[in-house]
Structure 1
Amino acid sequence: MKSVNLKELAQELNLSISTVSKALRDNYEIGQETKERVKKLAQELNYEPNPYASSLRRKKSKTIGVIIPEVSNNFFSQVINGIEEVARENDYHVLIYLTNESYSREQTISHHLASGRVDGILMSIASETQDYAHLKELTSKNIPIVFFDRVCDELATAKVTTNDFQSGYMATQHLIEAGCQCIAHLLISSNLSIGQKRMQGYVKALEDYGITCDASLIVNGDKTDAENRETMKQLLRSRPEIDGIFASVERLAMSSYEACKELNLAIPENIKIISFSNLYVASLLDPALTTITQPAYAIGKEAAKILFNSLDKNKPISATQSLELSSELIKRKSTAV
């Protein structure tokens, strides 16, 4: 059966092309009865949308950009899966850009996207980033941005995050209640808001349990995996009283496991370890890793929903649309509780 185009479908329904187009996209401006009538006839007449023609009419690329700092972290792959689902529902393509935690790379990508190659951006900032002029350039060109996980507080736009302070507190509390009295905290980066909030939760938990916070036990883990492993070995050699480790990201937990193995320190008998992690294989490690697990897939979906709602209604994104989701403590053998 030959398919009809949008114009022919509109003529059959005695409606404007604009009304039919909005009804097919489930736009809020169109009544439910009209939507159902349009979709029913579109199916009967074998209507197939032409995304390229639609893009030209609206001067839209039908593409969004997703900027992430790394791909080795399972958290980001799960976020992308959530974003992809919503993008497919909206007939959009997704371009993935990787900064490798580099500020200069993030700048280059931002300047590239400022030309209008994408209709909107979903972004998690690099650990090196401290200046946000390149991101302000994007918003000055009316390119909507939604941040997720690692956010820029200087831009008044929506942010989808998790309860990092509370989760940092919960992780530290768990170690204390497991018997730890000397807990090291491995900080992802002092530049990132998530790093600061997780560390603040750690400090607050120590304070509430009457344990003095020792700044020398807070280690910045923004180096290579090999360098982080050596840093951990040096710390554990110099501070043999350490009996707990709270890693703010999974790669720092892996460096801790490797350091403990090389120093013949048994987990959890000598040292207990907990980490923020979305590793699928966390339960298969030896011993299984206790984790604070973020709802990564939901973060991707919610961030994408905010962006596509803005694109569909042609309305600016507001900071009031921000969401904070809850992470989950999953107890396993690395803390022996």
Structure 2
Amino acid sequence: MSEKVNIKQLALELNISIATVSKALNDSYEISLKTKNRVWDLAKQLNYTPNPAASNLRSNKTKTIAVILPCVANNFFSLAIKGIEEIARKYGFHVLIYQTHEDCEMEISFINSLLNGRVDGILTSVSSSEDNADYYENLVKKVPLVFFDRVYENLDTFKVTTDDYHISYQATSHLIECGCKKLAYLYGLENLPAGKARFSGFKDAIDANGLTISDDFIVKYSDDENTNLEHIKVLLNHHKPDALFSSIEEFVIPSYTACKELRLEIPKDIKILSFSNLATAKLLNPSLTTITQPAFEIGNEAAKCLFKILTKRGIDDDKSIILKSELIKRASTGC
């Protein structure tokens, strides 16, 4: 049966026109997603297999999108990918994933290789190593592109982020309410709006409570975990903060390790909280207070935005979408 099934049979089965089936199979913006899903589901059930080469030539589409991000192993990005894939499947699209490993040159190389029509659109969370805003300002004019989490502001495309400033302010206030007065900041993503917003929320909460922070209480992220560990140990030994606010989860293990090596008890001697989507955060000893981002929802929303561009629907909607993170209080802050 699978060898004989054709568009006409799909149309008869669904009681819709042959033209509607054809447009649905080719992902036409004229057809609703509900109808497309009906057609795609039946086509799959009956093993309908159109000629992909001919179909792509007619529609000038690859039915493929690319996701470019720093690291697949990161808990946040692995959840975001799941959110992206859920939407891509609904539209019958494949997803290609590229890891930049925080290398801007690799990021640009990947994207340039995709500009020859290999994909219909790109979702990206940019590298933190340097500012590439000028490159992306030209890129958004050439290819459907949506930023998520790590973005460049003031570009004419959709951007899906979280409330980094407000949640940082809230988390810092929580530490102060727990009795902390000498707060240290572990600074990641300093070249990106997200990193700057997190630090601004932290600093403004410090100022609002009549406290101060010096450069000695700020540790900047290094790609080398041992370097981060040594810097945190120097901070704890020489300046004796009573709290560590980590802006990225890569600081979590070095922070716990440093406290263990220096025989500092968490949260009695020092309190710790971090931006983190670590599934094991509640299993750490003590369990880690986290600022948890809605990673799946961010990926999901970003993919929806990309398909707005591809289907030419909703492209005039608000292009700056901000989702809310959650402060999850656990034992590492102790109150």
- Same fold by TM-score, threshold 0.5 exceeded? yes
Amino acid at match of 1:119: D
Contact 2:40–2:92 under 8 Å retained in 1: no
Amino acid at match of 2:333: T
1:3-14 residue pairs with structure 2 within 5 A? Answer: 3-6=4-7, 9=10
Which residue, out of 321, 328, 331, partners 1:330? 328
Distance in structure 2 (CA, Å) of the matches to 1:231 and 1:212: 21
Asked whether 1:63 is paired with 2:64, we answer yes
Q: Provide closer, same or farther for how the CA distance between residues 63 and 41 of structure 1 changes in structure 2, counting only shifts above 3 A.
A: closer
Amino acid at match of 2:7: L
Distance in structure 2 (CA, Å) of the matches to 1:127 and 1:317: 28
Contact 1:156–1:318 under 8 Å retained in 2: no
Distance in structure 1 (CA, Å) of the matches to 2:324 and 2:230: 33
Distance in structure 1 (CA, Å) of the matches to 2:199 and 2:89: 37
The answer for the alignment partner of 2:267 in structure 1 is 268
Q: 1:305 is paired with a residue of what secondary structure?
A: helix
Q: 1:161 is paired with a residue of what secondary structure?
A: strand
Distance in structure 2 (CA, Å) of the matches to 1:162 and 1:298: 10
Q: 2:117 is paired with a residue of what secondary structure?
A: coil
Q: Provide closer, same or farther for how the CA distance between residues 262 and 40 of structure 1 changes in structure 2, counting only shifts above 3 A.
A: closer
Structure 1 length-normalised TM: 0.89
Amino acid at match of 1:262: E
By how many angstroms is 1:133 displaced?
A: 3.8
Distance in structure 1 (CA, Å) of the matches to 2:309 and 2:222: 35
Q: Provide closer, same or farther for how the CA distance between residues 221 and 40 of structure 1 changes in structure 2, counting only shifts above 3 A.
A: closer
Amino acid at match of 1:155: L
Q: Provide closer, same or farther for how the CA distance between residues 178 and 57 of structure 1 changes in structure 2, counting only shifts above 3 A.
A: same
Distance in structure 2 (CA, Å) of the matches to 1:328 and 1:82: 18
Distance in structure 1 (CA, Å) of the matches to 2:209 and 2:186: 20
1:62-211 residue pairs with structure 2 within 5 A? Answer: 62-141=63-142, 143-211=143-211
Distance in structure 1 (CA, Å) of the matches to 2:136 and 2:284: 39
Contact 1:307–1:317 under 8 Å retained in 2: no
Distance in structure 2 (CA, Å) of the matches to 1:112 and 1:39: 33
Q: Provide closer, same or farther for how the CA distance between residues 42 and 126 of structure 1 changes in structure 2, counting only shifts above 3 A.
A: closer
Contact 1:206–1:212 under 8 Å retained in 2: yes
The answer for the alignment partner of 2:311 in structure 1 is 312
Distance in structure 1 (CA, Å) of the matches to 2:218 and 2:33: 56
Listed as ranges, the gaps of 5+ residues in structure 1 are none
Contact 2:162–2:322 under 8 Å retained in 1: yes
Distance in structure 1 (CA, Å) of the matches to 2:209 and 2:41: 66
Contact 2:25–2:40 under 8 Å retained in 1: no
Which residue, out of 313, 318, 321, partners 2:319? 321
Contact 1:64–1:95 under 8 Å retained in 2: yes
- The CA deviation string for residues 53-80 of structure 1, in whole angstroms up to 9 with x for no partner, is 4323211111111011123320000000
By how many angstroms is 1:254 displaced?
A: 1.6
Listed as ranges, the gaps of 5+ residues in structure 2 are none
- The CA deviation string for residues 284-334 of structure 1, in whole angstroms up to 9 with x for no partner, is 001100001000000010100111122123x69568232111011111111
Distance in structure 1 (CA, Å) of the matches to 2:316 and 2:70: 24
Q: 2:185 is paired with a residue of what secondary structure?
A: strand
Q: 1:122 is paired with a residue of what secondary structure?
A: strand
How many residue pairs match? The answer is 331
The answer for the alignment partner of 1:217 in structure 2 is 217
Contact 1:158–1:318 under 8 Å retained in 2: no
By how many angstroms is 1:7 displaced?
A: 5.7
Q: 2:332 is paired with a residue of what secondary structure?
A: helix
The answer for the alignment partner of 1:292 in structure 2 is 291
By how many angstroms is 1:23 displaced?
A: 4.8
Amino acid at match of 1:114: L
Q: 1:223 is paired with a residue of what secondary structure?
A: coil
Q: What is the root-mean-square deviation in Å for CA atoms of aligned residues?
A: 2.9
Distance in structure 1 (CA, Å) of the matches to 2:181 and 2:33: 61
Contact 2:169–2:204 under 8 Å retained in 1: yes
